[in-house]
A and B are shown apart, each in its own frame.
Chain A
């Protein structure tokens, strides 16, 4: 059998196999996850103590998911959530990128802000919730604030780290060729750190997406977090599980989009020569 691998046919067949390996394993992973889910549902359904939660199993969940997708409810749920995350991330980027560039470029600013920022970063964003509710008139604004607080740190620190890795020779060359500060920012610094900014945004999205759901448990009457809470109150566990799946799918898709953007803007060559 081992001799087979040495035949020409086997070697020719190898490259396409390797290309298919990633997607194949991805599918296999999903399959394993579904199997575990189904197994869990089967255990729950057969346990008299847990019988009430049997609707968390794949079959009822997928049927509920089908319902909310075909009725368009899924868009009504996720629209407000996406808006809140988008606004929170946008504001965090608007503040975090310039602050990160300044901190990366100016030594004393970095030293001055290091301790306070590390301190603030370690405070769970959700612990700002009571304050946010008091400060902002609307629930929406409070949620955007919480997401912003969660999202700003990865963006800021990633940007600053990117700026510090910029080759000083690029700045010297640009200055020597007559670049003004605006050129320096848009032609040298931003393209050089585009990947760092996007990596920060990707990390920030992960945190923001996590913070979103508990933040939507309070006050608001729209969004995915609210949909989960609402389903729990009406004991509609199939629908609850369907919303959980929706949260996972949207989060996965957004993360994937950021990964594509990072790949597009990445100018670092895999192999040096």
Chain B
């Protein structure tokens, strides 16, 4: 009975969304003239996940939507299921319950219309920078685009001069830029970033946070970024979903209202947002800690 109602609700939401998309298409024909690809719309509906070898669910009843072009951060403690959720958005893992709907279609597997980036750049060490960046196009059998598109994306990440170098000759930050170029080459509608800068030094990390946000904005890409770092969320995200742990749930959904200059930090508005988000984050983390805390002093 309950399940049927939920299914019906999903169907309804899906139908409404695809209707809205059609309307949007009619209302804004100028979209077609833009060179940038429009960002993807994400709807996550009643998603729960239990790994085969784990006892309880890792994620429970997660629902949210992301507008095209929006930058959303998933903020939570290590182990709360952020990576699991991101894998489900990408289609690399399928949820045990509920669904992810992107642009009106249920996700059933990976697609080069949305690309995931990981903490390690994982470039192929036997290839040059350009060959690495061309992989998505090669896999999509769009070889004729490589000659034009690869220099374009390498230019976008300021690595045009490194095209013919071996991937291993680059620094960690540069390698992550190549991974970004590789992700952008197929003109995806969405990037999913799983703590992609956490292995970099602070300076390089800041630069990449700013550049990735700028590139995504210019291209109109939807960006979902997983992080456990409050300042990263404040710097990059338009909106932050704070996740609770055991099982992972969305505890808070909050907007970061800063313009690009303010996101550079050092101003009162940035500091205020940072403090506010930090308070939310610690409250959520504490709430989770209290639930599992059974020391006698508590009572």
Instruction: Give me the interface of A with B, judged by CB distance under 8 Å.
Output: 167, 169-170, 172-180, 183, 187-188, 191-192, 194, 265, 267-269
Known: A169-B118, A170-B124, A187-B135. A175 touches B111 (CB 8 A): no
Q: Is the CB of A183 within 8 A of B139?
A: yes
Residue in B112, B135, B140 with the greatest tally of chain A CB atoms within 10 Å: B135
- B227 beta carbon closer than 8 Å to chain A: no
Residue of A nearest to B118 (CB): A169
Residue of B nearest to A173 (CB): B122
Please report which residues of chain B, range 139-153, place their CB below 8 angstroms from some CB of chain A when the two chains form the complex.
139-140
**Partner among A176, A183, A188, A267 whose Cβ is within 8 Å of the Cβ of B110:** A176
**Partner among A170, A265, A268 whose Cβ is within 8 Å of the Cβ of B122:** A170
Contacts of B196 in A (CB 8 A): none
Cα separation A135 to B138 with both chains bound (whole Å): 47
Residue of B nearest to A167 (CB): B122
User: What are 22 A-B residue pairs whose CB atoms fall within 8 Å in the complex?
Assistant: A167-B122, A169-B118, A169-B122, A170-B122, A172-B92, A173-B118, A173-B122, A174-B135, A176-B90, A176-B110, A176-B115, A177-B136, A177-B186, A178-B110, A178-B111, A178-B112, A179-B135, A192-B124, A194-B126, A267-B125, A267-B168, A269-B168
Contacts of B249 in A (CB 8 A): none
Q: Is the CB of B168 within 8 A of A180?
A: no
Contacts A177-B135, A178-B140, A265-B126 known; 13 new A-B pairs at CB < 8 A: A169-B118, A170-B122, A172-B92, A172-B122, A175-B110, A176-B90, A177-B136, A177-B186, A183-B138, A192-B124, A267-B126, A267-B166, A269-B125
Cα separation A268 to B126 with both chains bound (whole Å): 8
A107 to chain B, nearest CB (A): 15
A181 to chain B, nearest CB (A): 11
Contacts of A174 in B (CB 8 A): 135, 139
B230 to chain A, nearest CB (A): 27
Residue of B nearest to A194 (CB): B126
Residue of A nearest to B172 (CB): A273
Contacts of B126 in A (CB 8 A): 191-192, 194, 265, 267
Cα separation A175 to B124 with both chains bound (whole Å): 13
Contacts of B166 in A (CB 8 A): 267
Contacts of B122 in A (CB 8 A): 167, 169-170, 172-173
Contacts of B120 in A (CB 8 A): 169
Residue of B nearest to A172 (CB): B92
Contacts of B136 in A (CB 8 A): 177-178
Cα separation A177 to B140 with both chains bound (whole Å): 8
- B49 beta carbon closer than 8 Å to chain A: no
Q: Is the CB of B139 within 8 A of A180?
A: yes
Contacts of B116 in A (CB 8 A): 176
